Amino acid sequence: MIEGSEGVSRKGVLRYGMVGGGAGSFIGEVHRKAAAFDQKNKIVAGSFSRSYKNTKSTGRSLGIKEDRLYKTYQEMAELEGQREDPIDFVSIVTPNFLHYDIAKKFLENGINVVCDKPLTFTYEEAHELEKLAKDNELLFCVTYTYTGYPMVNHAKELVKNGKIGDIRVVIGEYSQDWLATLEEEKGNKQASWRTDPDKAGRANCVGDIGSHLENMVSFITGLKIDKLCANLDKFGEGRELDDNAEILVKYKGGATGVYWCSQVAVGHDNDLKVRIYGTKGSIEWEQENPNKLKLSYVDKPTEILTRGRDELYPKAAQLSRIPAGHPEGYFEAFAVIYQKFSEAVLDKKSGTSYSDLTIEFPTAKDGAQGVYFINKTVDSAEAGSKWIKF
Amino acid sequence: MIEGSEGVSRKGVLRYGMVGGGAGSFIGEVHRKAAAFDQKNKIVAGSFSRSYKNTKSTGRSLGIKEDRLYKTYQEMAELEGQREDPIDFVSIVTPNFLHYDIAKKFLENGINVVCDKPLTFTYEEAHELEKLAKDNELLFCVTYTYTGYPMVNHAKELVKNGKIGDIRVVIGEYSQDWLATLEEEKGNKQASWRTDPDKAGRANCVGDIGSHLENMVSFITGLKIDKLCANLDKFGEGRELDDNAEILVKYKGGATGVYWCSQVAVGHDNDLKVRIYGTKGSIEWEQENPNKLKLSYVDKPTEILTRGRDELYPKAAQLSRIPAGHPEGYFEAFAVIYQKFSEAVLDKKSGTSYSDLTIEFPTAKDGAQGVYFINKTVDSAEAGSKWIKF
Amino acid sequence: MIEGSEGVSRKGVLRYGMVGGGAGSFIGEVHRKAAAFDQKNKIVAGSFSRSYKNTKSTGRSLGIKEDRLYKTYQEMAELEGQREDPIDFVSIVTPNFLHYDIAKKFLENGINVVCDKPLTFTYEEAHELEKLAKDNELLFCVTYTYTGYPMVNHAKELVKNGKIGDIRVVIGEYSQDWLATLEEEKGNKQASWRTDPDKAGRANCVGDIGSHLENMVSFITGLKIDKLCANLDKFGEGRELDDNAEILVKYKGGATGVYWCSQVAVGHDNDLKVRIYGTKGSIEWEQENPNKLKLSYVDKPTEILTRGRDELYPKAAQLSRIPAGHPEGYFEAFAVIYQKFSEAVLDKKSGTSYSDLTIEFPTAKDGAQGVYFINKTVDSAEAGSKWIKF
Amino acid sequence: MIEGSEGVSRKGVLRYGMVGGGAGSFIGEVHRKAAAFDQKNKIVAGSFSRSYKNTKSTGRSLGIKEDRLYKTYQEMAELEGQREDPIDFVSIVTPNFLHYDIAKKFLENGINVVCDKPLTFTYEEAHELEKLAKDNELLFCVTYTYTGYPMVNHAKELVKNGKIGDIRVVIGEYSQDWLATLEEEKGNKQASWRTDPDKAGRANCVGDIGSHLENMVSFITGLKIDKLCANLDKFGEGRELDDNAEILVKYKGGATGVYWCSQVAVGHDNDLKVRIYGTKGSIEWEQENPNKLKLSYVDKPTEILTRGRDELYPKAAQLSRIPAGHPEGYFEAFAVIYQKFSEAVLDKKSGTSYSDLTIEFPTAKDGAQGVYFINKTVDSAEAGSKWIKF
């Protein structure tokens, strides 16, 4: 919707490129819609596929000029890095196994990065990216979508402001059923790479959705994991990676948690749910009904808060765009992540020094922590579901 | 996300303008986000406010060139109509009382129209717009947002395919609580004009939300109202227009309905809910939980269908963009309305004759029917809540 | 479960008899379980059926002595009335059309009465019973079961204490689907008599379940109906009585109501639901989830109260027997009605004068009002769904 | 509803006695109501308290003759065992630590036993009771109340009939909040003994409610635990016993489970919930909404079954007493347990040999398994939350 000439970036509008997300990809279009949602970002470059034909047709349909459609991500990173009007950031939406190389390349060429999760295969790689971004004063966002919901941010503020007291118990669950049958044998592209260790890494279910649980709990509560004990199951016949997991968690300070994630839980679509119990109250939030929040107190009736109707903390309220009862969903949450990131990039461009930025979007550090969590979980499971120090 | 030059409209992308929707307006930004959502529409012109200053600052922030920011809608309609590259359509998002004049002006200048609802004050005006569009082979969309939800479209197909048998009873309710107190006296701009007969017309609650009930039931069931009996209340002290209404409806063929709409129903945000009972089954859908549909049968267990998981009729399935459990909300439904309209405009541009179009978006005819319903409802109430032939 | 000798009634235990409720009856056993629940009542006499064989076998299985098993209700009323140790009350659980004669006979013989609803066919009959009870200082209970739920009583107290302000709107619905098909032609005994004007009176659906709506709203709010406008449908082919109804209500003082009752609403079991909207708040209660109450306020978050957890008014709290989360259901609500009635009878027996009794159970007066409501509703419908003064 | 003379037990009615359950006890009255509910059992003897005064007043209010009110349970067991018309069974409703001695005494005196859970402190004691009952051909019921719900029995049949395929994952949770604060310091009698190791045994939360999870899962699925890993928390300051626990479970055959039980989960009343995921479908049931069951399939829409409306397996359907939508609750489920037990006792009395009995009520064996589970759980926790072979 944006400016007339790509050569002059008006204040408030960023130009970005994308790696991955060509025809046949689901998540690429989601990223583009999310980036465009609040009219802060315009896509101007891309290397959408290993097939240059796909890149060109995808690029054309997005109105990208031919000279910024690249055959490889390497070429894209280098040439964009040399332009006078380079992209302000790149969005990496490829399968997991490519994240590290691509992100590294763009960082080395001075370009901010948005990357899907899980960030990398190993913690070392993730940490390296984190360090690389920091050293080059570049911004790095890992798209933990679900922390973009206003009510999740309100939950975080409720905890921070002591409304539920000291946290005792966390129950996190993320259940789906799309891998209850062997979809990978039926030509489902996503099922294929996610269940393939070469492309997904050491974990499937824990990597894909378990990591959201870790991030969500960490985001809302600020709790640090002290140790964990994980059971990983491979129910689909012949599967090499997990499709179901239960993880017992002890946090520093004494709180206890259980995370259950599953892709074989028949009847569940995308059922991310967190419940947090403190000494004074509790919070319950469900991703499939994201505009509400259940808030209970030791000594008062349980409340059902709704976005738009009830008074939210400013940090949460500002993320909401429409009145109560007009549901905001997945795209709007995703757009919040892009919005937060874009604002940080704009701040940086307008001279705010990197270290002064109040960075509130999920960063490479969060991404690295997620990779650490995934690996510790697999370590525990491989050791016979033993407790592992975090 | 669109083309490089505004002079050449690429296939698949439309240029549009907007009247109303300047700084301070809520619905203008919603329309713009909805129009942009599927990357089919680019805003290139506007007269956003009676204040030209507001128009200019709004236009600038949207990247619109100065020469297409107009002081008045009249000027905009005339000048755009004369351009070689005119806007493909205009979106009218002003308060109700201006719809008629503005829409008429754009139709007279050969420009397709998207207009908020209720369409006009009187049925005669609405019908005139409908006729004017038809005579000039122009497309006219009235934004009954809620028919954009995939599950609503599935409900329509379920009825059409006889899954619930012959309809016996319809229960429609649309409850809000934002006018439970006298917001119009507290500087709430929307409350002010909606409760002002000069700006809102003969009805407030029935006009604003009752009309959605009429449209929703009509859309899903195809039922024609035979007669109705309405009670309108003005609970807010000193209010001249209704803030609560109950309407008994008899449809042609013998089915019965009750519509309840209210802006004083404490505890409800935007609670549009329809239940349709037939001889073989029933359907229940709620706008605040729009990705699900409850389907009951005389002789089988009740089913809860979810968008993305369960098999939908193709006409409904195609309106969904993301997998099950990733909530689509209000913006996405609104974007579906724009998508349907834009596709019809593109069809027409590519040579399909007006009369051959399979027009599925809500049209001026639907808008006129809504205005008719509003007026009949007020007629009934003013006659002492008597039954009125429709 | 009670005393050793029937000759000496210990303080706190009442002896009662029953008319109707023999083998094959559903409601008779419900009454007996409800009466016995709190160990205040012991059945000692009965005329359970027109078939004396049925009466004897039913009576035997209940441990009733042969000499108190009667061939006719007339004989039972007379002989019990003459005993030194007569029954303290009789429970009448026959089809509607027999209520009047039987109740009258027992009242004339000095025996307190519990009677199922609707009380009689005509208001005159109902009023006569009311007067007869009063003149003879006898207690008369009409079993409007649903007012026995603790949360309903809490709702009543909330209204009485001004928590939701002045009432503006009442939405009452009672939906079932057991007559969606022609059960009366399939040998369903209850369907047969309920759809037969000779046995059910002028109304089926309104009489059976609409009357519960009238009573429930009246119980909670204390509102008096000023006028009503009713649509009655007979959807089942060939039915002589209504199986669906919508009733618009205007209460004295200006509040508005809608009652919908249906036996053809596919997907609903016994879905009695009332919503009451006031100037300051609102209440929502559902019979199928009776241990909770939704309470909303103009200026505070919506609360979900649960029986046992949240502080209830004493009048409501005393009706609850078990801790929060241990569901009380239909039998327990029914038992509350018997409990209230039994306590009043015990009070009277212990010397409290009739006029001093704080009678809180549903009385003949409530029963008469229900019959009045049924008849006014049918009057309105027969007059072409016109408004009728109440 | 019972017989005239206690000397002659009519077919179909049992006489029982009770130990514990005097004034001030909650559970005693629940047992009595449940036992009486279906008019199969009459209380005729008791030793309700260590205080003989309490026993006498409680007994009198229940209509029990003076000579069958006993000072001690020992006396009661011996004297009842010697009568010509002894009680048919005794109900033991004392705190946990007394169960073993009392149950043993009655078994030794030839009297069938109903006992609250958990059955004993140690598995050895529990197993001894089980053996003692078997050797003496006596019936022994442990009141796992929640398996009395019709929908739980339907769930069991669904699993048994292969409707959800092979079980993969079990998620069991039982959350309450009554011990979120230190109730034991505020004079709450039940809180006092439950948190006291001398009276409650090695576990509080796991013993009281965790054992219900074990029993419920075992009842529905028939799964055998292979090993478990438990984390037990003592959040209440100074508590010696657990008030929260998470237990990872591996079943024989490869299925996985997680049990979470908590008494500090603010906002939960008595929230027992089980979810069972198989290869073909899944089942979800909640105790606070016990008349419904959620049933999902891999390839069909999710169904919501309701008791009374949908066709249940006969074993489940027979446990239901009233039509759909008339909620049955905790008392009715409890009464089902008594009903099953009473029928077994009646069968035995009428000559069916002990070994021929189709015993379907929860037995001493189930009770012993519960005690085993509790002890293994504590063993695991005390060993540092290690995996323990079951």
Residues in chain A: 390
Q: Are residues A83 and A97 in the same domain?
A: yes
Full domain range(s) for residue A297: 150-316+369-389
Q: Are residues D97 and D172 in the same domain?
A: no
Q: Are residues C373 and C351 in the same domain?
A: no
| CA separation for the pair D123, D126 (Å, rounded) | 5
Neighbours of chain D (3+ CB pairs under 8 A): A, B, C
pLDDT value, residue C11: 54
Task: Enter the tokens of residue A279.
Answer: 């000494």
| CA separation for the pair C257, C228 (Å, rounded) | 9
Of the residues A277, A279, A294, A299, the best mutation for testing chain D's interface (the one with the most D CB atoms within 10 Å of its CB) is A277
**Residues of chain D with confidence (pLDDT) below 50:** 1-10
Characterize the bridge pairing of strands D281-286 and C292-297: unpaired
Which of C301, C309, C310 lies closest to A304 in CB terms? C301
Closest residue in D to B303 (Cα) is: D303
> Are D120 and D371 in contact, with CB atoms under 8 Å apart?
yes
Q: At what angle do helices B73-82 and B99-108 cross, to 10 degrees?
A: 20
- Residue with the two structure tokens 């489970």: D257
The 3-state DSSP class for residue A35 equals helix
Omega of the bond prior to D327 within 30 degrees of 0, cis? no
Q: What DSSP element (H or E) covers D171?
A: strand D167-175
In-domain check, residue C38: yes
Closest residue in A to B10 (Cα) is: A63
| CA separation for the pair D324, C271 (Å, rounded) | 10
Neighbours of chain A (3+ CB pairs under 8 A): B, C, D
DSSP code per residue over B272-300: EEEEEEESSEEEEEETTSTTEEEEEESSS
pLDDT band at B4 (very low <50, low <70, confident <90, very high): very low
| CA separation for the pair B93, B109 (Å, rounded) | 18
> Are A16 and A30 in contact, with CB atoms under 8 Å apart?
no
Minimum distance, in Å, between the CA of residue B64 and any CA atom of chain A: 8
Kindly report the pTM of this predicted structure.
0.95
Q: What is the pLDDT of residues A137-196, one digit of tens each?
A: 999 999 999 999 999 999 999 999 999 999 999 999 999 999 999 999 999 988 999 999
pLDDT value, residue C357: 73
Minimum distance, in Å, between the CA of residue B292 and any CA atom of chain C: 16
Category of B237 on φ-ψ map: left (φ > 0), alpha (ψ -120 to 50) or beta: beta
Ranges of beta strands (E only) in C163-204 are: 167-175
Contact B304 D304 (CB under 8 A): yes
Phi and psi for C42 in degrees, rounded to 5?
Answer: -130, 130
In-domain check, residue A218: yes
Q: Are residues D267 and D385 in the same domain?
A: yes
pLDDT value, residue A352: 79
Question: Along the 390 residues of chain C, how does pLDDT read in single tens digits?
Answer: 223 333 333 457 899 999 999 987 889 999 999 999 988 899 999 999 999 999 999 999 999 999 999 999 999 999 999 999 999 999 999 998 999 999 999 999 999 999 999 999 999 999 999 999 999 999 999 999 999 999 999 999 999 999 999 999 999 999 999 999 999 999 998 899 999 999 999 999 999 999 999 999 999 999 999 999 999 999 999 999 999 999 999 999 999 999 999 999 999 999 999 999 999 999 999 999 999 999 999 999 999 999 999 999 999 999 999 999 999 999 999 999 999 999 999 999 888 777 777 768 999 999 999 999 999 999 999 999 999 999
Please classify residue C135 by burial: count the beta carbons closer than 10 Å to its beta carbon, then call 0-12 exposed, 13-18 middle and 19+ buried.
exposed
Residue type, B35: A
Contact C331 D330 (CB under 8 A): no
| CA separation for the pair B169, C268 (Å, rounded) | 13
Cβ density class C48-72: b for 16+ within 10 Å, e for less? bbeebeebbbbbeebbbeeebbbee
Which of D231, D250, D254 lies closest to A248 in CB terms? D231
Q: Is the minimum CB–CB distance between B302 and chain D shorter than 8 Å?
A: yes
Is 90 exceeded by the pLDDT of residue B3? Answer: no
Q: What is the pLDDT of residues C29-73, one digit of tens each?
A: 999 999 999 888 999 999 999 999 999 999 999 999 999 999 999
Please classify residue C239 by burial: count the beta carbons closer than 10 Å to its beta carbon, then call 0-12 exposed, 13-18 middle and 19+ buried.
middle
Which of C1, C32, C329 lies closest to D328 in CB terms? C329
> Are C200 and C95 in contact, with CB atoms under 8 Å apart?
yes
DSSP 8-class letter at C247:
E
Q: How far is CA D130 from the centre of its chain?
A: 15
| CA separation for the pair A276, A261 (Å, rounded) | 17
Q: Are residues B210 and B305 in the same domain?
A: yes
Of the residues B179, B183, B266, the best mutation for testing chain C's interface (the one with the most C CB atoms within 10 Å of its CB) is B266
| CA separation for the pair C164, C170 (Å, rounded) | 12
In-domain check, residue C327: no
Q: What DSSP element (H or E) covers A246?
A: strand A244-251
Ranges of beta strands (E only) in chain B are: 14-19, 41-47, 89-92, 112-115, 140-142, 167-175, 225-233, 244-251, 256-262, 271-278, 281-286, 292-297, 302-306, 387-389
Q: Is the minimum CB–CB distance between C40 and chain D shorter than 8 Å?
A: no
> Are D276 and D166 in contact, with CB atoms under 8 Å apart?
no
Q: How far apart are the first and last CA of chain C?
A: 46
- Residue with the two structure tokens 């009198």: D60
Mean pLDDT of B182-193: 92
Task: Enter the tokens of residue D133.
Answer: 């009952």
Residue type, D245: A
pLDDT value, residue B352: 79
The more confidently predicted of residues B24 and B223 is B223
pLDDT value, residue C354: 72
Ranges of beta strands (E only) in A220-298 are: 225-233, 244-251, 256-262, 271-278, 281-286, 292-297
CATH number at residue C117: 3.40.50.720
Of the residues C269, C287, C291, C306, the best mutation for testing chain D's interface (the one with the most D CB atoms within 10 Å of its CB) is C269
Characterize the bridge pairing of strands A292-297 and A387-389: unpaired
Q: Are residues C108 and C41 in the same domain?
A: yes
Q: What DSSP element (H or E) covers C24?
A: none
Q: Are residues A192 and A211 in the same domain?
A: yes
- Residue with the two structure tokens 């050569």: A7
Q: Is the minimum CB–CB distance between D331 and chain C shorter than 8 Å?
A: yes
Tell me the chain D residues in contact with residue A260 when contact means C-beta distances shorter than 8 Å: 171, 258
pLDDT band at B351 (very low <50, low <70, confident <90, very high): confident
Which of D42, D62, D325 lies closest to C269 in CB terms? D325
In-domain check, residue C331: no
Of the residues A302, A303, A313, the best mutation for testing chain C's interface (the one with the most C CB atoms within 10 Å of its CB) is A302
> Are B341 and B139 in contact, with CB atoms under 8 Å apart?
yes
Q: Are residues C210 and C355 in the same domain?
A: no
Contacts of B361 (CB under 8 A, 6+ apart): B141, B337, B340, B341, B344
Contact C10 D308 (CB under 8 A): no
Tell me the chain A residues in contact with residue B10 when contact means C-beta distances shorter than 8 Å: 63
In-domain check, residue B92: yes
DSSP code per residue over A127-139: HHHHHHHHHTT--
Contacts of B134 (CB under 8 A, 6+ apart): none
Q: Are residues A303 and A156 in the same domain?
A: yes
Neighbours of chain B (3+ CB pairs under 8 A): A, C, D
Contact C304 A302 (CB under 8 A): yes
Contact D332 C329 (CB under 8 A): yes
Residue type, A188: N
CA distances from C305 to A275, A303, C232, C309, D305 (A): 19, 9, 35, 8, 26
DSSP 8-class letter at C69:
B
Characterize the bridge pairing of strands C225-233 and C387-389: antiparallel
The 3-state DSSP class for residue A211 equals helix
CATH number at residue D167: 3.30.360.10
Question: What is the tally of structural domains in chain C?
Answer: 2
Q: What DSSP element (H or E) covers D19?
A: strand D14-19
DSSP 8-class letter at B206:
I
Minimum distance, in Å, between the CA of residue A127 and any CA atom of chain B: 30
Show which of residues 44-63 on chain A sit within 8 Å of chain B, judged by CB atoms. Answer: 61-63
pLDDT value, residue A366: 97
pLDDT value, residue B11: 54
Show which of residues 179-208 on chain A sit within 8 Å of chain D, judged by CB atoms. Answer: 180-181
Minimum distance, in Å, between the CA of residue D34 and any CA atom of chain C: 9
Closest residue in A to C309 (Cα) is: A301
Minimum distance, in Å, between the CA of residue D295 and any CA atom of chain B: 9
pLDDT value, residue C7: 31
Q: What is the pLDDT of residues B270-300, one digit of tens each?
A: 999 999 999 999 999 999 999 999 999 999 9
Q: Is the minimum CB–CB distance between A266 and chain D shorter than 8 Å?
A: yes
| CA separation for the pair B306, B65 (Å, rounded) | 44
**Residues of chain A with confidence (pLDDT) below 70:** 1-11, 359
Single out the residue of C331, C333, C346 nearest to residue C112, CA to CA.
Answer: C346
Q: Are residues B171 and B315 in the same domain?
A: yes
Minimum distance, in Å, between the CA of residue B34 and any CA atom of chain A: 9
In-domain check, residue C246: yes
| CA separation for the pair C205, C272 (Å, rounded) | 13
Q: How many other CB atoms are there within 10 angstroms of residue B222's CB atom?
A: 12
Single out the residue of D176, B284, B324 nearest to residue A268, CA to CA.
Answer: B324
Single out the residue of C309, C270, C278 nearest to residue C295, CA to CA.
Answer: C278
Q: At what angle do helices C364-382 and C211-221 cross, to 10 degrees?
A: 120
Contact D327 C322 (CB under 8 A): no
- The answer to whether the complex's ipTM is over 0.85 is yes
Tell me the chain D residues in contact with residue B295 when contact means C-beta distances shorter than 8 Å: 301
Task: Enter the tokens of residue B8.
Answer: 């050449």
Task: Enter the tokens of residue D286.
Answer: 């909640």
| CA separation for the pair B51, B345 (Å, rounded) | 31
Four-residue CA torsion sign, D364, D370, D371, D373: positive
Q: What is the pLDDT of residues B38-74, one digit of tens each?
A: 888 999 999 999 999 999 999 999 999 999 999 999 9
Minimum distance, in Å, between the CA of residue D242 and any CA atom of chain A: 13
In-domain check, residue D9: no
In-domain check, residue B332: no
The 3-state DSSP class for residue D162 equals coil
Q: Are residues D116 and D173 in the same domain?
A: no
Q: Are residues B156 and B299 in the same domain?
A: yes
Please classify residue B358 by burial: count the beta carbons closer than 10 Å to its beta carbon, then call 0-12 exposed, 13-18 middle and 19+ buried.
exposed
| CA separation for the pair D58, D46 (Å, rounded) | 9
- State the count of interchain CB pairs (< 8 A) between A and C: 22
pLDDT value, residue A7: 31
